[in-house]
Chains A and B, each alone.
Chain A
Amino acid sequence: MSKSMETPLPLRILNLILIGILCLTIILPFMHILALSFNNGMDAQKGGIMFLPRDWSLENYTEVFKQNNLINGLMISIFRTVVGTTIGVGLMAMAAYALTVKTLPGRKYITLFIFFTMLFSGGTIPYYLVLTDLNLTNTIWVYIIPSLYSVTNILLLRTFFNQLPMSVIEAARIDGSSEFKIFRTIVLPMSKPVLATISLFTAVGHWNDWYAGTFYVRDEMLKPLATLLQEMLTRQDALADILLRSSGSQAYEMLDRVSITSESLQMATIIFVVLPIVCVYPFIQKYFVKGITVGSIKE
C-alpha cells in the first residue's frame, strides 16, 4: 500500500475535532436541559446554570407525576406506540412480502398504486375531511388506523425481502410448507435488521406525533404526551394553567410551592418525553444502518 492511501495526520486530527464539535452540539444542549430539570426552578431563573444543577431538586419531576393530564397523556402515548407499531409493522411486512413475489399477477400495477401516493396526495384538508367522514376524529383510533402503513417503510421492507436467499424459500415450498408459514417461520426471522428498523421508525413516529393530537382531537383526555408538551411550550405560563385546572384549596397549596416554575416544569417534561427514545435507541441502533442501507445503493 502506497503512502498516499493514508489520510495525512493533521487532516485526520482536524477531522476528528470537527466531528467531535458536532457531537458536542448534540450532547451539551441535552445536558443543559437535564441540569435545569433537576434544579430548583426559582434558582434556575437567576441564570448561570450550565451542565450541572446548582440547587438539586426532584420537585420538577414529582410535579410532572402529580399532573393527571400528563400521566393520562403518557398512557395515550404508550397505547398508540405499542398498538400502532405492532399492528402496523405486521401489516406492512405482509404487504411488502407479497410485493416481492415475482409471479404475482398484477404486481407492477399494485406497486405503482402504492408508490404513486408518495408523489401526490389530496392534501391536508381533504385528508382531514375523510377522517371526519369516517368518524375517526376525536377518537383514539385516529392515532392508530391512519398511520398503519407508510410507503417508505413498505419500500424499505420490500427491498430487504428481495435480497433474501430465494433458495431457502424455494426449499420450504418444495417441502410443502404453506406460503404463510414460510413468511412467518422463514422470512420474518431472517429479516430482523429491517424489522427492527421499521419498528423503531414507526414507534418513534407514534411517540413524537403531536399533530394528530392537536388537530384531529378535541377531548383533553385523548391528547398524547407530545401534544401536551407542545401546548405547554406554546403557552407562556404553564403554572398558571395548573392553578386554573386544580380546584380550591389545592390551588392555594400550589401557590406555596414556588420552587417550581413553568420553565422548570417544561424542562422536566422535555426530559420525560426524550428519555424513552434515548433508552431504546442504543439497542436498536446496531440494526438500523443495515436495515436502511440494504439495496439503497445503485451499483
Chain B
Amino acid sequence: MTTFVTYNGELKSQEELEQHYKPVKVSTWVRLKKHKVFYTMLFPCLVFFLIFSYWPMLGLVLSFREYGFNTGILGGDFVGLKYFEQFFDDPRNWIYIKNTLIISCLKLFVALPFPIILAIMFSEMKNSKLRSTLQSITYLPYFISWVVVVGIMSRLLAPDTGLLNQLIQKFGGDGSTFFMMEESHFFPLVFISYVWKGIGWDSIIYFAAIMAIVPTLYEAASIDGASRLRQIWHVTLPGITSTIIILFILSLGSILSAGFDQIYLMQNPGNANVSETIDTYIVRTGLQGGQFGYATAIGLMQGIAGLVLTIVVNRVTSKKFDSSLW
C-alpha cells in the first residue's frame, strides 16, 4: 500500500489522507467563473468552427433541395434524392469514382512503405550531422506548392526540350513524348510526384518512433545472433507498428478524395479520361458550373464514406492492435 508523509511527519495511507482532506465542493457557477480567462481564449476558436465548419454542415441539406440565389445556403424546394439519382445515372461518374479509387489506393497503400523505408534507412546512418543535412533536403518538397511542383514537372517532361526527352534522345529514342498529356503516363506520374513530395516529411514521425525504441531490445536481439536486417524486421518494425496504424487510420478518411491540388493542376485535355476525380468533378460542376445542389450531394456522399471508413477501421484496429485514434 502506498503511504504518504504529511507535513508534520505522520505516515498516512491514501484513504486516510482523502478522509482528512475532502475536496471542497464548489458550485458549477464558481468553477465556470474561475475559468473565465480560458473560456475567453477559446471563444474565438469555437465561433470560428461554428461558422466555418458547422454552418457548412448545415448547408448539406442543399443535397436535397433546389438551390436558388435568393434562398441561400439552406436551399429552396425539396427535391428528394434527385441529385443522387442524377449522379449514379451518369455512366461517366463511375469512371470518376474509379479514377479516384485508383489514385487514392496508390497513395494510401502503395506509397505507404516508402517513408517507412526511408526512416529506417536514416536510422541506420551513424553520422548524425550528415544524416540531418540529408533529412532536411528530403523535407523540402513538402513545403513547395503543387503549383510549382507541377510547373517543374511539365518543364522536365516537356516534349523535345524537356530534360527527360533529351535523355531519351541521347539513348537513341525519338524524345517527343508528351508525358504530361498522355493518358498512360498519368497514374505513374501522380504516384511518383506524390511519393517524391511527401517521402521525407512523412518519414519524420516514423524516424522519431524508431529513435524511441529502447536500445536494449537491439542488444538482446544481437546476443541472440540476429543480423542487422533481422533486427530491423523483428525489433524496428514491431516498434513502430502503432505509429504506422494511427497515421494510416488518419489518412483513410480521404479515400474518396485523391488530393485536389495535385490532380486539378495535372489535368489537361490529353488525360481528361483518367484525371477527372470526385474532388475535381465537384469543383467543376459546383464552383465553376454553378450546380450547387448536385455538387453538394456528391460531396455529402464523399464525406460520409470517409467518416464511416475511419470509424470502422479505428474500431477494428483498436481491438486487433490495441492502437486507435481515440
Q: Is A167 part of the contact surface with B, judged by Cβ < 8 Å?
A: no
- Residue of A12, A29, A32, A125 most packed against chain B (CB within 10 A): A125
| 0 or 1 for each of B146-167: is its CB under 8 Å from A? (1 = yes) | 0110111011100011010010
The size class of the interface chain A forms with chain B is 35 or more
Q: Is B139 part of the contact surface with A, judged by Cβ < 8 Å?
A: yes
A119 to B: closest C-beta gap in Å: 5
- Please give me the residue from chain B that is nearest to A293 by CB atom: B208
Q: Is A260 part of the contact surface with B, judged by Cβ < 8 Å?
A: no
Query: Which residue of B35, B218, B283, B299 is within 8 Å of A101 (Cβ)?
Result: B35
Bound CA span A5–B235, Å = 12
Q: Which residues in B have their C-beta under 8 angstroms from that of A285?
A: 136, 139
Given known A-B contacts A211-B261, A233-B150, A8 and B37 have beta carbons under 8 A apart: no
Query: Which residue of B28, B140, B147 is within 8 Å of A208 (Cβ)?
Result: B147
Q: Is A165 part of the contact surface with B, judged by Cβ < 8 Å?
A: no
Query: Which residue of B60, B124, B228 is within 8 Å of A4 (Cβ)?
Result: B228
Q: Which residues in B have their C-beta under 8 angstroms from that of A103?
A: 31, 35
Q: Which residues in B have their C-beta under 8 angstroms from that of A26?
A: 137-138, 140-141, 196, 200
Q: Is B222 part of the contact surface with A, judged by Cβ < 8 Å?
A: yes
Contact A123 B246, beta carbon cutoff 8 Å: no
Contact B134 A154, beta carbon cutoff 8 Å: no
Q: Which residues in B have their C-beta under 8 angstroms from that of A233?
A: 147, 150-151, 154
Q: Is A124 part of the contact surface with B, judged by Cβ < 8 Å?
A: yes
Q: Is B177 part of the contact surface with A, judged by Cβ < 8 Å?
A: no
Contact B32 A125, beta carbon cutoff 8 Å: no
Q: Which residues in A have their C-beta under 8 angstroms from that of B156?
A: 29, 32
B268 to A: closest C-beta gap in Å: 9
Q: Is B300 part of the contact surface with A, judged by Cβ < 8 Å?
A: yes
A112 to B: closest C-beta gap in Å: 9
Chain B facing A: main interface SS: helix
Q: Which residues in A have their C-beta under 8 angstroms from that of B231?
A: 4
A129 to B: closest C-beta gap in Å: 4
Q: Is A18 part of the contact surface with B, judged by Cβ < 8 Å?
A: yes
Chain A facing B: main interface SS: helix
Bound CA span A256–B57, Å = 55
Given known A-B contacts A123-B282, A129-B292, A210 and B212 have beta carbons under 8 A apart: no
Bound CA span A22–B154, Å = 20
| 0 or 1 for each of A200-234: is its CB under 8 Å from B? (1 = yes) | 10001001111100010000000000100110010
Q: Which residues in A have their C-beta under 8 angstroms from that of B37?
A: 178-180
- Please give me the residue from chain A that is nearest to B287 by CB atom: A215
- Residue of A105, A122, A229 most packed against chain B (CB within 10 A): A122
Contact B138 A124, beta carbon cutoff 8 Å: no
Binding stretch for chain B, among A59-67, A242-250, A276-284: A276-284
Query: Which residue of B150, B209, B283, B296 is within 8 Å of A215 (Cβ)?
Result: B283
Q: How many A-B residue pairs have CB under 8 A?
A: 263
Given known A-B contacts A123-B282, A126-B60, A281-B140, A50 and B209 have beta carbons under 8 A apart: no
Q: Is A47 part of the contact surface with B, judged by Cβ < 8 Å?
A: yes
Q: Is A166 part of the contact surface with B, judged by Cβ < 8 Å?
A: no
Binding stretch for chain B, among A68-76, A78-86, A90-98, A188-196: A90-98
Given known A-B contacts A149-B45, A266-B151, A293-B208, A208 and B145 have beta carbons under 8 A apart: yes
Q: Which residues in B have their C-beta under 8 angstroms from that of A12?
A: 124-126
Bound CA span A219–B145, Å = 23
Contact B299 A124, beta carbon cutoff 8 Å: yes
Q: Which residues in A have their C-beta under 8 angstroms from that of B137?
A: 23, 26-27
Query: Which residue of A15, A92, A200, A270 is within 8 Å of B121 (Cβ)?
Result: A15
Contact B56 A114, beta carbon cutoff 8 Å: no
Contact A125 B222, beta carbon cutoff 8 Å: no
Contact B287 A125, beta carbon cutoff 8 Å: yes
Q: Which residues in B have their C-beta under 8 angstroms from that of A32?
A: 155-156, 163
For window 102-141 of chain A, which residues contact chain B by CB distance below 8 Å? 103-105, 110, 113-114, 117-130, 133-134
Contact B287 A124, beta carbon cutoff 8 Å: yes
Contact A101 B38, beta carbon cutoff 8 Å: yes
Q: Is A298 part of the contact surface with B, judged by Cβ < 8 Å?
A: yes
Contact A18 B121, beta carbon cutoff 8 Å: yes
Q: Which residues in B have their C-beta under 8 angstroms from that of A124?
A: 279, 282-283, 286-287, 295, 299
Q: Which residues in B have their C-beta under 8 angstroms from that of A229?
A: 147-148, 151
A242 to B: closest C-beta gap in Å: 18
- Please give me the residue from chain B that is nearest to A148 by CB atom: B48
Contact B38 A98, beta carbon cutoff 8 Å: yes
Q: Is B303 part of the contact surface with A, judged by Cβ < 8 Å?
A: yes
Bound CA span A280–B310, Å = 36
Q: Is A253 part of the contact surface with B, judged by Cβ < 8 Å?
A: no
Bound CA span A25–B246, Å = 29
Bound CA span A272–B60, Å = 40
A67 to B: closest C-beta gap in Å: 17
List 16 interface pairs A-B (beta carbons < 8 Å), by A numbering: A4-B225, A26-B137, A46-B161, A50-B163, A94-B41, A97-B38, A114-B46, A123-B300, A125-B62, A200-B143, A211-B260, A226-B145, A229-B148, A273-B148, A274-B148, A298-B242
Question: Lowest 8 A-B CB distances belong to which pairs?
Answer: A122-B56, A123-B299, A126-B59, A208-B145, A293-B208, A95-B45, A126-B56, A117-B53
Residues of chain A having any CB pair with chain B under 8 Å: 1-2, 4-8, 11-12, 15-16, 18-20, 22-23, 25-27, 29-30, 32-33, 36, 44-48, 50, 91-92, 94-95, 97-99, 101, 103-105, 110, 113-114, 117-130, 133-134, 146, 148-149, 154, 178-180, 183, 200, 204, 207-211, 215, 226, 229-230, 233, 263, 266-267, 270, 273-274, 277-278, 281-282, 285, 289, 292-293, 296-299
4 more CB-based (< 8 A) A-B contacts, given A44-B161, A113-B49: A19-B121, A50-B163, A114-B46, A121-B57
